[in-house]
Amino acid sequence: MSTYTTEVTTETGSDKSFVNQTPLAAFVKVRLAELEIRQSVFCRRNTFDQGLLSKIQNSQVNSLTIESVLKLAVGLGVPPQHLFKLIDRLDLHDLVLQTYAREFSEVLVTHLEAESHELAQEAQKALSTAFPEVDPPSIRIRRKRTPASATYQKNGDSLLKVGI
């Protein structure tokens, strides 16, 4: 895992020391500055723990829960994958994707079936390729029924259906 070195001036202003900064800390500081938002406002808006955000920015913490990564990603307006990569935990990103892959594939295939059977099959194939360890739902073929042509025979005042 790489770190950035940042020059820090002490309160007296005379001594200079160097602090190793994690990629996550550097990114969060830059992103908050881009958004022009203070730490306290960010935490209030996103129900994020202010103490944890402070520790992240000061490179005291680099291990986060999935919940913290997701809240941080939403608040910073970045894909969670970027944050998982910064903390060297892309395995957690893959885990999140796997947990939703089956649900997503069922919703997608169900919606596509109504539009186009061929498109639904292509989507199912793509999902099977992307997530081989997750069984996508099987496509249920719905055949459109064409009304059967019927022959009617007049029987007095009524019509009778003949040979369906």
Is 83 a domain residue? Answer: yes
Q: What is the pTM of this model?
A: 0.60
pLDDT digits (tens, 9 = 90+) for 92-120: 998 888 888 777 777 777 777 777 778 77
Q: Is residue 156 domain-shared with residue 110, that is, in the same domain?
A: yes
CB contact at 8 A, 161 and 150: yes
Tell whether 60 and 114 lie within a shared domain: no
- Domain count for the chain, please give it: 2
Asked, for residue 19, whether it belongs to a domain, the answer is: yes
**pLDDT tens digit sequence for 5-20:** 343 433 445 455 566 8
Are both 8 and 64 inside the same structural domain?
yes
Q: What is the pLDDT of residues 1-55, one digit of tens each?
A: 444 434 343 344 545 556 689 999 999 999 999 999 999 999 999 999 999 999 9
Domain around 33: 4-88
Same domain, 81 and 60: yes
Which of these, 49, 1, 52, lies nearest to 22 by C-alpha position? 1
Cβ-Cβ contacts under 8 Å for 124 (sequence gap 6 or more): 105, 109, 136, 137, 138, 139
Q: Based on the domain organization, do 105 and 34 belong to the same domain? A: no
